[in-house]
Amino acid sequence: MDLIATLSCSDQPGIVHAVTSAILECGGNIIENQQFTDVPSGTFLMRTRFETARGVNETKREFEKKLTAFKPSITIRERTRKKRGLILVSKESHCIRDLIYLHEIDELPIEIPLVISNHQDLEPLIKNQGIEFKYIEVDPKNKDLAEAELENIIKNLEIDFIVLARYMQILSKEFSLRYAGKIINIHHSFLPSFKGAKPYHQAFERGVKIIGATAHFVTPVLDEGPIIDQDVAYVGHGANLDQMISLGRDVERRVLARAVRFYAEDRIFIVDNRTIVFH
């Protein structure tokens, strides 16, 4: 059995020793192991992948026994039990296309039980790929309705996380908090610059030489959640607004796909308003 365990707790001597004791007790052999002590917050973080003949539950009991003193949060997951992602889109297809493509060629270890959109434009594209699609209208005056429907679906389909693949709706504070650390958004510029609407217009008028994209977790404060990944593309003065947007799309889809993969592989930890990502 190929297991991935993650662990976080206050930093103190003996944690790694306790973890490895537990793994040894289970006859486990470590395949990958990464750990990090975040000094500003005094937090110890660890991700371990190991093979063992024991099951998830038994292993988890062993971890809890050996680690009680450290009061850690622990997750243990069978690697082949892929996380189930609900993908929300609007009208633009570049991000969802890359996710589906990478999923199809087995480079994105997630399940995609459903894609939801507040528009019907992408329905043929999604269904064409053999993926379920659902149109949920968002009434600006009554957003709660749409979010209530989302929550039902999340429960019924046993969704583990949500990807906003250019979903142009702002989620409510309540919704953001309920799924804290489980909603990944792609922002079409460098955060924290060019917040709000029309970031490319702002960037163009400012004559930037670099276009960026930021994948981050959603929090109640718009575009201020922990950053997961960022990347850039260079842009010359010859690029008009459309070309800037096109370049931006290219960066966005790469950054979002990477962030989703990190999440799918349990590589991301949130500490304060930052992330630790074990690449």
CB 8 within 8 A of CB 268: no
The token duo for 265 is: 């592989």
CB-CB neighbours of 48 under 10 Å: 24
d(CA 135, CA 129): 16
Residues 192-251 within binding reach of a second copy (CB under 8 A): 192-194, 205-210, 212, 226-232, 236-238, 240, 246, 250
d(CA 163, CA 150): 13
Active site residue ranges: 223
Q: How far is CA 8 from CA 15, 80, 82, 230, in A?
A: 10, 23, 22, 24
94 is an interface residue for a second copy by CB under 8 A? yes
Per-residue binding string, a second copy, 247-266, x by CB under 8 A, is ---x---x------------
34 is an interface residue for a second copy by CB under 8 A? yes
Task: Tell me which residue has tokens 């309705």.
Answer: 145
Q: Which is nearer to a second copy, 138 or 244 (CB)?
A: 244
Size of the site for a second copy (CB under 8 A): 62
Q: How far is the CB of 83 from a second copy (least distance, A)?
A: 19
CB-CB neighbours of 207 under 10 Å: 8
- The Cα diameter of the chain in Å comes to 63
59 is an interface residue for a second copy by CB under 8 A? no
Question: In sequence order, what DSSP letters do the residues of 130-147 get, joined into one string?
Answer: T--EEE----TT-HHHHH
Give the one residue of 24, 56, 153, 222 binding a second copy; rule: CB under 8 A: 24
181 is an interface residue for a second copy by CB under 8 A? no
275 is an interface residue for a second copy by CB under 8 A? yes
Signed CA dihedral, 256, 258, 263, 267: sign only: negative
Q: How far is the CB of 243 from a second copy (least distance, A)?
A: 9
93 is an interface residue for a second copy by CB under 8 A? yes
Per CB under 8 A, residues contacting a second copy are 12-14, 16-17, 20-21, 23-24, 27-39, 93-94, 97, 101, 105, 107, 128, 190-194, 205-210, 212, 226-232, 236-238, 240, 246, 250, 254, 272-277, 279
